[in-house]
Chains A and B, each alone.
Chain A
């Protein structure tokens, strides 16, 4: 068994809500007095979990509560959770930007954190000067930076601009340089927070490749926070699922991904329902729901029902239904021109059935739009009716878990038996 690189024990972090105003000084004195007498901190007594939607009774929230886990050396661990689950807080504590309220973390090796690329770049300094400055801020010694200097410049692809102040860089160049510095850190543990959502597609691919190389090739420990399940799946072998400050599950990425997506679909995305009492829009959807299950077999068809209201019929009104993957990339779009006969009493109700054996096993969601040929959008519902397609014996079933795209087509293979 490999060694433990990070060991987190009963970690909690409390935040104070509201304004720090005139009450701060007296409260501080009260705290100090309580602690001086060896009593419990009155500040921490009245805590509650971090549910942002409901108004709590106290102004203390626990952003993280009693988190414990261990990460082995060489693991690439994804940290998943909705907004407010505590991901960023965990990373901030791990990278020592802030300290925990209770509990502790033990770390073996150096930690380099990439909470944001380009931290500490000075616009007036040249690319070269900034490489050294940024590297040093991230914890590199000068000699280390020198050693990697050529590789950094090469990776960023900015050789011509190396002696130009970075304020004259394009934003793409700026980000590339910043990532390049961080990617060449010599640390045993690398913490990354969604920085890859920058730059063009080609550079993103390069970054992902570099991250993979860091974790798989060099055997370094990587912690990666992202909303992008695709990236987590590609990079991380294990994942931690956080929810409202609690650690829900720590397991293989595949398992966690499923739990997370189910959690999402359970919460709000299974159907769309809006009670319309008085509508001032020209037209809008009132209800969208799947008629088929949210988990279907590859060969099964998908049925969806949608209802809406049209206050003013305009010829050329269109209904568009798109299907997208978890990263919200559009896979296909179906368009229908709404006719006057489809509407009764200003209302419409329609069904769409998509035959089976098209979508490859994966997770998808719908996007609904009501718009006009002149591209006026009346209503748009994103990321609704999440559904999963399960393999039920396609040719690809053998290769489940790999990313094989979103549709399965049957092709005809042919080989020449005699090669002259």
Chain B
């Protein structure tokens, strides 16, 4: 052992503990081809052996919109700030689904991939990131549907006024992505040891939707609850998204900035916790 020449160069060192901030991001980049192939796999395997194929992406938002319009619009008569009800609900559903889909899928990433993670090494982060992108593909398809509906109402001139805030759209999507990723990473890392959280996610996502202005505008909430709802980082994002495209309601700068800060903190926290757990999760899962 003592004869080791000091010039010997090592490509890799396997150690028990690494620094909290050593996130292997370089490794993730080296495996970018895998990322792309996983996204493709998710997309292709989704519609293999179906007759309607990718059309299935449309069916869910269409039916959700119809049901929401009927129940919340016609039965409960919740305000939509003057926007056409179907458009209002579809905007909320499509955006919320992106966040919810990523989060639910990422929160079980260790469990779902225990077999493959136990057999071969690749940067674990690739899996959750690929889910974010796969969900983004689905969101993209559903977003087209939303745009079609938007043009329909623009053409009919039913009070829809897209405005400059529409330019925040990419930022909103990015924030939703990292927020979903961050929360998902935290949950999946904790569920490797404590399975309890898996149950929380299952029904928690439904409840969380009602705590987010998806089926109602933030302005329709009673003032004393408004600040509580705004504590949910998704609130500012959904409101901004809807305001940019529909022009109804208002832009809440405070809530939006809060969403940015909260998303980034949760994302970084998720990365660190995930990174700490990934090394040994095979032993505990």
A: which residues have CB within 8 A of B? 3-4, 7, 9, 15-16, 20, 24-25, 28, 68, 70, 92-111, 113, 115-116, 119-120, 122, 124-125, 129, 132-133, 136-142, 165
Contact = CB atoms under 8 A, between A and B. Distances in A.
Interface in B237-285: 279-280, 282-284
Contacts of A92: 118, 282
A97 B282 contact: yes
B119 A119 contact: yes
Contacts of A25: 194
Nearest to A99: B279
25 contacts: A20-B284, A97-B117, A97-B119, A98-B280, A98-B283, A100-B14, A101-B16, A103-B16, A104-B14, A104-B16, A106-B12, A106-B13, A107-B10, A108-B9, A108-B11, A119-B119, A124-B49, A125-B44, A132-B37, A136-B34, A137-B34, A137-B122, A139-B31, A140-B33, A165-B48
Nearest to A188: B11
A138 B16 CA distance: 23
Interface string B38-56: 1011001100110000000
B33 A136 contact: yes
Given A9-B1, A98-B283, A93 B31 contact: no
Given A24-B194, A119-B120, A142-B33, A124 B14 contact: no
Interface string B101-135: 00000000000000111111110000000000000
A182 to B, nearest CB: 10
Given A97-B118, A97-B120, A104 B15 contact: yes
Q: Is the interface of A mostly helix, strand, loop or mixed?
A: mixed
Contacts of B194: 24-25
A105 B13 contact: yes
B34 A95 contact: no
Given A119-B116, A136-B31, A68 B1 contact: yes
B193 interface: yes
Interface string B70-98: 00000000000000000000000000000
Contact of B116 (A94, A120, A136): A120
Contacts of B122: 137, 139
A104 B11 contact: no
B121 A97 contact: yes
A125 B41 contact: yes
B43 to A, nearest CB: 11
B14 A4 contact: no
A185 to B, nearest CB: 11
Interface string B1-28: 1001000111111111000000000000
Of the four ranges (under 10, 10 to 19, 20 to 34, 35 or more), the interface on chain B belongs to 35 or more
Contacts of B115: 119
A97 B11 CA distance: 17
A115 B121 CA distance: 10
Contacts of B279: 98-99
Contacts of A101: 16
Contact of A136 (B8, B37, B44, B117): B37
A99 B120 contact: no
B45 A124 contact: yes
B134 to A, nearest CB: 13
A122 B119 contact: no
Given A9-B1, A97-B121, A107 B37 contact: no
Contacts of B40: 129
A33 B280 CA distance: 20
A109 B11 contact: yes
Contacts of B41: 122, 125, 129, 133
B120 A95 contact: yes
6 tightest Cβ-Cβ pairs between the two chains A and B? A136-B34, A96-B121, A105-B14, A99-B279, A107-B12, A106-B10
Given A4-B8, A101-B16, A95 B45 contact: no
Contacts of B8: 3-4, 108
Contacts of A133: 34, 37-38, 41
A25 to B, nearest CB: 7
Nearest to A119: B119
Contacts of A4: 4, 8
A61 to B, nearest CB: 12
Contacts of B118: 92, 97
Contacts of B12: 106-107, 111
Nearest to A89: B283
Nearest to A63: B283
A121 B21 CA distance: 32
Contacts of B34: 133, 136-137
Contacts of A96: 14, 121
A110 B10 CA distance: 10
Given A98-B282, A106-B13, A136-B31, 17 more contacts: A3-B8, A7-B10, A98-B280, A98-B283, A99-B280, A101-B16, A103-B16, A104-B16, A106-B14, A108-B8, A108-B9, A108-B10, A115-B119, A119-B119, A120-B120, A124-B49, A129-B44
A114 to B, nearest CB: 8
A138 B122 CA distance: 7
Nearest to B33: A142
A98 B31 CA distance: 19
Contacts of A104: 13-16
A120 to B, nearest CB: 5
B36 to A, nearest CB: 8
Nearest to A111: B12
Given A68-B1, A133-B37, A94 B14 contact: yes
Nearest to A117: B119
Contacts of A98: 279-280, 282-283
B283 A15 contact: yes
Nearest to A12: B16
Nearest to A123: B45
Contacts of B16: 99-104
A201 B238 CA distance: 61
A142 B35 CA distance: 11
